[in-house]
Chains A and B, each alone.
Chain A
Amino acid sequence: ASSAAPTRSDRSTHHSKSVRSYLQNFGYLKKGQPEMANLLMGDVAQSYEDDFRIAIKTLQEFGGIPVTGEIDEATKELIKKKRCGRPDREEGDIEDGRRK
């Protein structure tokens, strides 16, 4: 029965996954990070967790909402807002990692 109903951690994982794709689409997080599900794999998870948190902070700062590093209500509202499809951060436009 427990597997049938999403548990709290499942819901947060699912929620994080949509936030992660939002952060990747708009240039806050590099695509191709390790899957969220195996976060418990030692320091890779830790560094990923840091990147994720930094990306959320960057989004909150760019969007002009309180910077908490958490997916709080204001962040959820910002993510739901209508917006331009271009990324906010253009690193993705650089081939082989060179910055312009």
Chain B
Amino acid sequence: MSFSIAIHGGAGTILRSEIQPEEEARIRAGLAHALEQGRAVLRAGGAALDAVQAAVMALEDDPCFNAGRGAVFNDAGFVELEAAAMDGATRAAGTVTGLRRVRNPVCAAREVMRRTPHVTLGFEAAERFAEACGLPLEDAAYFHTDKRWAALQQELARIAAGGDASQASEQVKHG
């Protein structure tokens, strides 16, 4: 029986005029790499759940994308990461929100599914749970990218000047 996999790295106003050729090449390479991480699991007969986790981990590690290492900043100037995983065969699901130090939030979501009777854990308790599961934690500098920090400053200035927070440009909102 055959296998299929798809990934995304975000959607929004991605103006051709705004993306430099070398940046687009990095993004395409990052997508291709992440896809292959998941496809390798499927090719080896692995489970769909393991395949999607492997692909998302690769995207979280890539600063090109708004997750994990390349995450955008909230209005207080720090990252708050969230992730989810769901197994269609059993409808088991695990999700996390409000994480600030977990390197791969999708792994924390998987541990919630695997080790707790709950679906969602959030904020400090979720961070302590992830640490207790032995998942790698990083300090704030790991998640800092100049591009996202500049986007935050731009957005905060726009809001301070009376702009409507819900009307930010897609590119600024979603990185």
Partners in one complex: no
List chain B positions with a Cβ less than 8 A from chain A.
none
* A binding-site residues for B, Cβ under 8 Å: none
